[in-house]
Structures are given as C-alpha cells and as structure tokens.
Amino acid sequence: MNANGTIWFWSLEGAVEVSDAAEVTDPKAIMRRKAYDARNAQADKDRVSEVAVARLMQMPEYQAARTVLWYLDCRSELRTRHMLPAVLASDQRIVVPYCTTDEAGANKLGLWLLEGMDELIIGKWKILEPPRERWGEPGKEVPPDEIDLVIVPGVGFSRQGGRMGNGQGYYDRLLDRVRPDCVLVGLGYESQLFDDLVVSPHDVLMDKVVTELAVYEGKGRHSKE
C-alpha cells in the first residue's frame, strides 16, 4: 500500500491497482485475480489455442458471418494471431479493435478493417494495432452495426455465457452498440471457466463460449429481456 491508500497486486499480467483497501475483499476483484492466475498457468498455450480457434471457426455462426471482429491476443490471452493470415485470405471481412477514447474521454474500441498484417504495429499495452496516424482513415473504420460476429477475449468465463474482463470497459461499451442479432463469442481456455464467476448486472452475457474442449451455449444478451 502506498501513502494514498492505493494497493497494488503483482502477477504475470503486471501490476493490478486496487484503489481502496476495502476492495481487497471485493468478490469480483478476488475472482479476477484468481482468473488471471489460471490463465497465466495454462500449459502449452500455442497448441491449445490452435484447437480452440479451429473449433470456433467450425461453428455455423462463424461460417455464416460476413464481417467478423477478431481480437489480437496479448500477454496470456488465448492466441489468435496465428490464424489471422489465413482468415484474411477468406471471403469474410476481418476487423480488429484498437484502444482509443470517445469525445467524452471514455475508453472505446476503434474498429479497423484489416487487409494485411503489415498494417499493424505494436501499440498500447504491447497490443498490435493500426498506426495512430491512420486512425479514422476513410474506408478502414467499420461501424459497430456492420459486425456480424464478435470474438471476445476475457479474463474469466462461465459456461452459461458470463464474462469477466480486465475492468477497463472497452468491450462492454462496444457490445452495447452492436446489432441485436450480432453473435457474441467468448474465447478462452477451459482453465478460465468458473462455475461461480462473479458478474455484475450490467455485464454482457455471451451467446457462445468456446474453449479447446467444447462450445458452450451461453444465455446471451436477450436472456435479460
């Protein structure tokens, strides 16, 4: 704890800030740390990731999608970059996110139409992204309502479609803006699944959760309606 009461926890993901000592006992904060540890400890990440991604791409929902938002893995996330050169050769439009802010300064994902891996550089948090000077370029920015399927990373998931993110709100805001019929697919290791995953009322539920072992049927956004 430092002089202003901030507490830092350290993991292979780096430093995780907890702004108040009371949050140390917060169930969601504790679950997030547990999920980080499980993801970090996953063995043979390359092979397991290949199996999980292949399972996702065999889904009818994926094959029917015209425009797909892929995430670009970083740190211990399930790895997707190995598949991007192949999917770029398909008939689908491939979109990747980058971290920016909106007019009010809130965290926001920009959506970039990816046509070649050479369009990407290492950016914020060492995640691949388009160069900052090209953000907003005509013909490369994709509106959220054009996305047919979103591949969503996470720290932890439940088999019922619950998702826990990093706590920055990037995907939460995006998923509120895609079409109601856009398919949301959480992608993670089986080791990231928790039956007692702590979620908040505003958290968006996945339609599917895919791991190296199975495709789980999530409750989806419409279960709250």
For 194-212, write each residue's pLDDT tens digit. Answer: 999 988 877 899 999 999 9
On whether both 56 and 29 belong to a single domain, the answer is no
**Parallel/antiparallel/unpaired status of strands 215-217 and 208-210:** antiparallel
How far is it, in rounded angstroms, from Cα 202 to Cα 199? Answer: 8
Which residue, chain included where needed, has tokens 């043979």? 44
Q: What is the pLDDT of residues 56-86, one digit of tens each?
A: 999 999 999 999 999 999 999 999 999 999 9
On whether both 25 and 55 belong to a single domain, the answer is no
On whether both 31 and 56 belong to a single domain, the answer is no
On whether both 118 and 150 belong to a single domain, the answer is yes
3-class secondary-structure state, position 215: strand
Q: What is the pLDDT of residue 190?
A: 98
On whether both 79 and 146 belong to a single domain, the answer is yes
pTM for the whole structure: 0.88
Domain that holds residue 28: 7-41
184: pLDDT strictly greater than 80: yes
What is the distance in angstroms between the CA of the first residue and the CA of the last residue of the chain?
42
On whether both 35 and 127 belong to a single domain, the answer is no
Residue 169: CB atoms within 10 A of its CB come to 14
